[in-house]
Amino acid sequence: MKVLVPVKRVLDYNVKPRVKADGTGIDLANVKMSMNPFDEIAVEEAIRLKEKGVTEIVVVSIGEPKSQETLRTALAMGADRAILVTSETKVEPLGVAKILAKIVEEEKPDLVILGKQAIDDDNNQTGQMLAGLLGWGQGTFASKVEIADGSVNVTREVDGGAETDTLKLPAIITTDLRLNEPRYASLPNIMKAKSKPLAQKTPADFGVDVTPRLTTLKVVEPAKRTAGIKIADVDALVDKLKSMGVAK
């Protein structure tokens, strides 16, 4: 059984994003970039499945050449080989899903595990789009994955609780935070990852048109909240709540 895991290079989740003064986007010059946290969970899940009988894990990243570092991280965690699809321009989820669909045709994985959303664009689309393009079942927001014979049981975090769906294989899974705790790559594994295979491609190799459908007209900072006040004690808070009408 083969698993494909797409990963994305994003601004590190601990870094506070700064909006560029000209309103064209977020300033990404000289800031720490990392693997999208949900994708780390996806890689981890694939590795855990490998410990239970998956034979190969292929990781894919689509984006700037530096995404190679993100792929090396995934290889160091335990993935077997990597595919880097380099694009100078930003590729939207629809374009990413179309490229991934082509890679799926070539690689024929039984399972594709993606993060539920990337923490930069917060779109939460790519996995669902890929499932739609392939005509496969989708187990989104997964908190538990169990492979059965020819199918996979996915417990999903939904509004109000959890839901379990059974999907026919091959299928798409997108990870939620509580699926697992990703491992750290050890130094020997980081060294080993350098010699693992990494194929370089471009969107044109797959015949996919990645022209954006959405144009970002501007990016601004959200409205700032006005400075609040500190109060001295509970009595003052009770008075405040009463004056707001939320307490009698």
Partner 1 sequence: MKTLVWVEHDGTAVKDATLSAVTAASKLGEVHLLVAGQGVDAVAAEAAKIAGVGKVHVADDAAFAHALAENVAPLVAELMGHHDAFVAPSTTNGKNIAPRVAALLDVMQISDILSVESEDTFTRPIYAGNAIATVQSSDAKKVITVRGTAFDKAATEGGSGEIAAVASTGDAGLSTFAGAEIAKNERPELTSAKIIVSGGRALGSGDKFHELIDPLADKLGAGVGASRAAVDAGYAPNDYQVGQTGKIVAPEVYVAVGISGAIQHLAGMKDSKTIIAINKDEDAPIFQVADIGLVGDLFKIVPELTEKL
Q: Considering only residues 75, 77, 84, 131, which one is a binding residue for partner 1 as defined by CB under 8 A?
A: 131
What is the separation of C-alpha 87 from the centre of its chain, rounded to a whole number of angstroms?
18
Helix (H) or strand (E) holding 17: none
Contact 42, 59 (CB under 8 A): no
Residue 69 to residues 112, 170, 181, 193, Cα–Cα distance (Å) = 21, 29, 21, 11
Which DSSP category does 30 fall into? T
- Answer yes or no whether residue 150 interacts with partner 1 by CB under 8 A: no
> What tokens does 96 get?
């990413």
- Answer yes or no whether residue 126 interacts with partner 1 by CB under 8 A: yes
> What tokens does 41 get?
């969970």
- Answer yes or no whether residue 247 interacts with partner 1 by CB under 8 A: yes
Residues 162-191: x where in contact with partner 1 by CB under 8 A, - otherwise, as a string: xxxxxxx--x----xxx-------------
> What tokens does 222 get?
């959200």
How many residues bind partner 1 (CB under 8 A)? The answer is: 81
- Answer yes or no whether residue 230 interacts with partner 1 by CB under 8 A: yes
Residues 41-70 that bind partner 1 (CB under 8 A): none
Q: Considering only residues 1, 2, 86, 128, which one is a binding residue for partner 1 as defined by CB under 8 A?
A: 128
Helix (H) or strand (E) holding 143: strand 137-147
Residues 208-227 that bind partner 1 (CB under 8 A): 212-222, 225-226
Residues 78-117: x where in contact with partner 1 by CB under 8 A, - otherwise, as a string: --------------xxx--x------------------xx
- Answer yes or no whether residue 39 interacts with partner 1 by CB under 8 A: no
Cα 59 to Cα 67: distance, rounded to the nearest angstrom: 11
